Amino acid sequence: MNLEYFFSLFLGGMTRGSIYALIALGYTMVYGIIKLINFAHGEIYMIGAFTALIIGGALSLTSMNPVAIFIIAAIVAIVYSAAYGYTIEKIAYKPLRNAPRLSALISAIGVSIFLQNYVLLSQTSDFLPFPNLLPEFGFLKPVENFLSTTQFLILLSTAVVMILLTILIKFTKMGKAMRATAQDQQMAQLVGINVNRVISMTFIIGSATAALGGVLITTHIGQINFYIGFIAGIKAFVAAVLGGIGSIPGAVLGSFVLGLTESFGTGYISSDYEDAFAFIILILILIFKPSGLLGRKENEKV
């Protein structure tokens, strides 16, 4: 047993888990409020990554400070992804609010196909390298064998996002409205909550966190193409269900469980079955806890 190897796998798993968590949050928040599996969510993450690449790539031709470029690119990507999330909800999901649930799901699949091909046609089908903008952090020098700068950044920003989100949901008026809408939409409307606004807000927040995930992972991995959203979306969905879909702490916990399982599975067992570990752990957990790790067991009524 090599301790250093173990640590690098552990941190790799945590990094993976952080990215899954950033995407899974949007899934779980949307699901909690309108009970929709938002298949297009992975595409939002991809668009975030692409926007960052475009802005970052264009600005890096100027003589600006690379760190400033990175921050600008990340902010623009987040704003744009949030705008996409908002627009998609208004066009593709809002008219289907009273329709059968599966119709909304197919609409989401349609959006996903559309966005993939939109990026494919307007940009390229090739893998594009992400410009290297971030300097190595000096204080990470002693641990650079298992913790790179981007990994550190991913872990740090995920932690910050989690804290901000918890504050938003627990202590602000909007958060209260969100929780109320998730519990009972009709009742929320009766007590004067603007449900449309709450739903829009959920999409905006969810898309923004997904975009942050997209920006961070592209700086970490270094290249992107139009197809990265699909598999990331599915993995994040698995993470959200693993933790109990609709529950925000559940999504985070599920993501870390998933990330660590994948990392240790590929490190110690076999890298051929990388994706299979995620699904096997999912099945095992759901067999013993049918509503996820932190999911509420709902009382069923006839």
278 in Cβ contact with 228 (< 8 Å): no
CA distances 189 to 174, 194, 247, Å, are 14, 6, 22
Exposure of 240 in the CB half-sphere (CA atoms within 13 A): 29
E-state strands within 141-195: none
DSSP symbol at 268: I
The interface with other proteins within residues 124-183 (CB under 8 A) comprises 124, 128-131
Q: 55, 80 in Cβ contact below 8 A?
A: no
Which residue in 70, 212, 64, 72 sits closest to 130, CA to CA?
70
Out of 72, 75, 92, 134, the only residue in the binding site for other proteins (CB under 8 A) is 92
Q: How far is the CB of 282 from other proteins (least distance, A)?
A: 5
Binding-residue pattern over the window 250 to 289 for other proteins, x denoting contact by CB under 8 A: ----------------------xx-xx-xxx-xx--xx--
Residue 207 in the binding site for other proteins (CB under 8 A): no
Whether 238 and 169 have beta carbons less than 8 Å apart is answered as: no
- Least distance in angstroms from the C-beta of 148 to other proteins: 20
Q: Minimum distance from CB of 299 to other proteins (Å)? A: 11
Smallest distance from other proteins to CB 126, Å: 9
How many residues sit close enough to other proteins to count as binding (CB under 8 A)?
69
Instruction: Give the position of tokens 């998933």.
Output: 258
| Interaction of residue 195 with other proteins, rule CB under 8 A | no
What amino acid occupies position 298? Answer: E
Binding site for other proteins (CB under 8 A): 31, 37, 47, 50-51, 53-55, 57-58, 60-61, 76, 80, 83-84, 87, 91-92, 95-96, 99-100, 102-107, 109-119, 121-124, 128-131, 234, 237-238, 241, 245, 272-273, 275-276, 278-280, 282-283, 286-287, 290-292, 300, 302
